Amino acid sequence: MKLSKNHILPDNNAPIIDIKNLYKSFGKDNHVLKGLSFFVKKGENLVVLGKSGSGKSIAIKCLVGLMQADKGTINVFGKDITKLDETGLNEIRLRIGFLFQNGALYDSMSVRENLSFPLLRHSSSLNPIEVDKAVIDILTSVGLTEAIDKMPSELSGGMKKRVGLARTLILKPEILLYDEPTTGLDTITSREISQLILSIQQKYKTTSIIITHDMACAKQTSDRIVILKDGIVNAEGTYDALENSNDEWVRSFFI
């Protein structure tokens, strides 16, 4: 079944993520983010586009506290995460899922162990049978129940992404961050992953930021797109609006 984007919430819906004037530099001369500002509303799928090195991945790493921003605010669920201590940050992190580019599955653990690992640490009240059931349920929702006892080295690129997504979803996050979810996959698998992103969003009512270079994925999944250039947002709008933009540089992404 092909899913469509019919989930945009009303405009008066308050932003669940609000990034303002974010700066991040590496060394003296490498300024990656130069006052980045954007927001994401609850239930929205925001696609972030931009050339390599424009600061897309750095921005979402700052969003989950993997990197410290030099300046600026990152409000998530109404809290500025740049000012939170480790405990406060971990509380927010439990509500955010992060899908890494290559899945980032733990090599030494099977798929079952990869999925139960975060669950056992954060849901100590669950008994082993309940943990196993949760693992099977979440693997069913990404269509990979047969891989439950496989090791990550036995999985294909697309399967790794699905398992990575399942591991992210098992903690029932409200926000999902996708770092290039279709990179390195063939066209068919890319389309399946894009469909999966949409189906997950509709099933779990998540808010998503999707960083991608894959325009088919952007078209399929986006409610709104922001395009970064030199560490700031250069263009913003829906896929159709940006595709027909007057700015030649913006249009060049859609060719």
Interface with other proteins (CB under 8 A): 61, 64-66, 90-91, 93-94, 96, 98, 100-102, 104-108, 117-118, 121-122, 167, 171
Q: How far apart are CA 131 and CA 83, in angstroms?
A: 34
Nearest residue (CB) to other proteins, 55 versus 225: 55
Nearest residue (CB) to other proteins, 175 versus 198: 175
Residue 73 CA from chain centroid, whole number: 19
179 three-state secondary structure: strand
Nearest residue (CB) to other proteins, 8 versus 94: 94
Nearest residue (CB) to other proteins, 87 versus 246: 87
Q: How far apart are CA 172 and CA 161, in angstroms?
A: 17
Compute the least distance from the CB of residue 90 to other proteins, in Å. 4
Compute the least distance from the CB of residue 254 to other proteins, in Å. 30
Compute the least distance from the CB of residue 64 to other proteins, in Å. 5
Compute the least distance from the CB of residue 61 to other proteins, in Å. 8
Q: How far apart are CA 135 and CA 101, in angstroms?
A: 22
Nearest residue (CB) to other proteins, 97 versus 250: 97
Compute the least distance from the CB of residue 238 to other proteins, in Å. 29
90: number of Cβ within 10 Å: 12
CA quadruple 107, 143, 98, 192: dihedral sign: positive
35: number of Cβ within 10 Å: 14
